[in-house]
Structure 1
């Protein structure tokens, strides 16, 4: 299991390297404003897509675990939810493009922002393929897709630059092409993992398409929606500061802050990797063994992330100026503040995996909901007066608060006395 976590962390580090190189290229060709637009276009379409598929990415690992993966008409049901969500999400993006252009992209034409709606479906296709590999426990395939997800953008962004397309148009094309290339490989791996030929297009019991099961769709959506609340809140806690800062201060200030945020999120990689690896494994374990394993991981993950935070904070200044240039010097102090907010992320990743694995994603959502309240209050209070530094302080307080609550919830629910009580929390129906 440790090897699996390290392998996943390595894949995520490669993804960060790809993202860093892409951000450097965007910064060198378009400056801080282009970096801000790039950050928004990587975040907003994916958010719309996940909202429209009723939490399907979070539910996949649970329903693809043995023995649920053998449910009749499971794949046609999952694909129907995904295809319907992609269509709805794209339509919503196009309809909202005038508002999106006015708030987030004031210097770009509306038609180009509407065209970016195509990345709603492409990001969703990639996300579902990646989380399917997680549920099928194809750890090697999942790690490859995680790394390729960011690495693929660099050549796909260079391609439109070579043919004379620049600015936000090159970013949109690069994102869409990268999504499609990596998504095709992800679904090829899923098909091979399932033993399906012809890319899973045979239908019936040997493919993804067929007649969906309405009752099963309700079960998947029930679990997914309870988990999606937490996933959405996590995304908002990580990215709401970006959206508010972009709307208030503009793309140039946002570009520097986006660089600082991504730099600090290096410390979140171990926790994300732990959630990715342990969620499907804990799903298959009984309560006693799952709780014992989760509790044993708390101390080493806490210590490891705290030790890693020291050099990352010290190197923030040299790294920012070397990679992005002197115009990004203002990102150094926000980056150091954000690093302090990540020190509990490793242990909270274990806590999230435990809650999802025991069939209680709603508890995770409740904790993260409390953090969202803190995020909103602090963002609207601090960002108008302090800009990027205010956003960094608000995010740091939120991260520490929610991570501490998740760790406390894990310790309470995994205690021997708690394990003797029913595993399903109040309000959590059987999926």
Structure 2
């Protein structure tokens, strides 16, 4: 079987709708699994362990993608573009993935004492060090998923999206049955689930022929991948700062119990990201394949539609938050309702951010995407430090909501500007 799921690119508009719907279903199923996991941890271990679990989901992943210089972002771009047929590309990406995973693990182990002192004082240091294995499993899983995305194997990518969240549930249950509890059971579930997710995701690459017909890895090609990935990852890193800096500040100032409540609010509000994430996931490689004029036309067509979708969903989710959160998580998590509603305000225009970011990265301008994210980070840092010490989780929600709105506005302006230039150049 060819390593490409589709031999010839087709227009974005003819491919995007069905693929986006399938990815939306996958993202929804993954979020359902994550919500069930958070609910179980909250009910069985309490808010403090939920907070620690939230950080352990983010920090190992962050370590891996930063140390690998944004390899997942670059892998999807290069595999979906003209260099995707280069027989040296796939082995080069694989070498970079293995090297990044190994280096990421070493960085985690070296930083574990500091992380223990700052964020995980209630977690045994040996257990925190053991959690470093998830740096390897998360990076390899995310990389394999990005490769599926770049090769237009959206069915495989969707399988990984669901699988990486689903496997935690039985793994966590197995840890509980073995007599573990609290954060120890959580880490055990993450380790076992991570190994299974990695096997599934890399196995999917093998099924599509990714590891067939290789040539010798290329140092020059690897340099190009790293250079692009670093520019693209800067935007993703800044996006993550916008998304999760409040977690770190809340944990440091208010403790893991308050963070656990806020994490539930944040995860609920991020239901708004489901349709936007699906569009971004599908459009990124499509924009990379499309001709400049076609990509610009699709941007102008899709951006207002995506924005309207998230705007319409906002009041529905706000009402649901008021009713569902106390029922599902209990009275101890009732304070999560107000932060969830505040976060939804900033996420109202998330559809525009998703389409704009996909356009900028897919058309080879990850630096512009990073610039837009960077302005949002400035807002996030300033407001987090100003509001969280006084208002706690509510202050964190206000800060993030404002930052989301600022970032979306800038990304939309930049994408329209570049689309205009690309259309003008195509006509001349």
TM-score normalised by the shorter chain: which range applies? over 0.9
**Inter-partner Cα distance in structure 1 for 2:408 and 2:82:** 32
Equivalence for 1:89: 104
Cα distance, 1:212 vs structure 2: 2.7
**Inter-partner Cα distance in structure 2 for 1:399 and 1:43:** 19
**Inter-partner Cα distance in structure 1 for 2:350 and 2:206:** 33
Equivalence for 1:22: 37
Number of corresponding residues: 412
Equivalence for 1:63: 78
Q: After the TM superposition, which parts of structure 1 deviate over 4 Å for at least 4 consecutive aligned residues?
A: none
Equivalence for 2:3: none
Secondary structure, aligned partner of 1:90: helix
Write out aligned runs for 1:116-131 (5 A): 116-131=131-146
Check conservation: 1:136, 1:193, Cα contact below 8 A: no
Which of 395, 416, 424 is the equivalent residue of 1:420? 424
Equivalence for 1:255: 260
Equivalence for 1:283: 288
Cα distance, 1:76 vs structure 2: 2.0
Secondary structure, aligned partner of 2:121: coil
Check conservation: 1:264, 1:336, Cα contact below 8 A: yes
Cα distance, 1:183 vs structure 2: 2.0
Equivalence for 1:373: 378
Which of 115, 119, 123 is the equivalent residue of 1:104? 119
Which of 231, 236, 257 is the equivalent residue of 1:231? 236
Which of 280, 296, 305 is the equivalent residue of 2:310? 305
Cα distance, 1:72 vs structure 2: 3.7
Compared with structure 1, are the counterparts of its residues 175 and 225 closer, same or farther at alpha carbon in structure 2 (3 Å cutoff)? same
Equivalence for 1:427: none
Which of 168, 179, 202 is the equivalent residue of 1:187? 202
**Inter-partner Cα distance in structure 1 for 2:143 and 2:104:** 15
Equivalence for 1:31: 46
**Inter-partner Cα distance in structure 2 for 1:116 and 1:291:** 44
**Inter-partner Cα distance in structure 1 for 2:179 and 2:55:** 23
**Inter-partner Cα distance in structure 2 for 1:167 and 1:372:** 33
Secondary structure, aligned partner of 1:315: helix
TM-score normalised to structure 2 length = 0.93
Structure 1: tracts of 5 or more residues without a match: 424-431
Which of 214, 217, 220 is the equivalent residue of 2:219? 214
**Inter-partner Cα distance in structure 1 for 2:171 and 2:323:** 29
**Inter-partner Cα distance in structure 2 for 1:83 and 1:7:** 30
**Inter-partner Cα distance in structure 2 for 1:4 and 1:82:** 26
Secondary structure, aligned partner of 1:359: coil
1:196-254 CA distance string (max 9 Å, x none): 6xxx3xxxx635xx753111111001110110100111111111111111111110000
Check conservation: 1:374, 1:398, Cα contact below 8 A: yes
Check conservation: 2:144, 2:202, Cα contact below 8 A: yes
Which of 353, 365, 370 is the equivalent residue of 1:360? 365
**Inter-partner Cα distance in structure 2 for 1:84 and 1:188:** 19
Secondary structure, aligned partner of 1:137: coil
Equivalence for 2:60: 45
Q: More displaced, 288-297 or 82-91?
A: 82-91
Check conservation: 2:269, 2:341, Cα contact below 8 A: yes
**1:158 equivalent in alignment to 2:176:** no
Equivalence for 2:393: 388
**Inter-partner Cα distance in structure 2 for 1:25 and 1:237:** 27
1:348-386 CA distance string (max 9 Å, x none): 111111111111111000110111111111111111111
Check conservation: 2:131, 2:187, Cα contact below 8 A: yes
Check conservation: 1:126, 1:180, Cα contact below 8 A: no
1:171-218 CA distance string (max 9 Å, x none): 112112222212212222222222x6xxx3xxxx635xx753111111
Cα distance, 1:66 vs structure 2: 4.6
**Inter-partner Cα distance in structure 2 for 1:265 and 1:12:** 11
Pairwise CA RMSD: 1.5
TM-score normalised to structure 1 length = 0.93
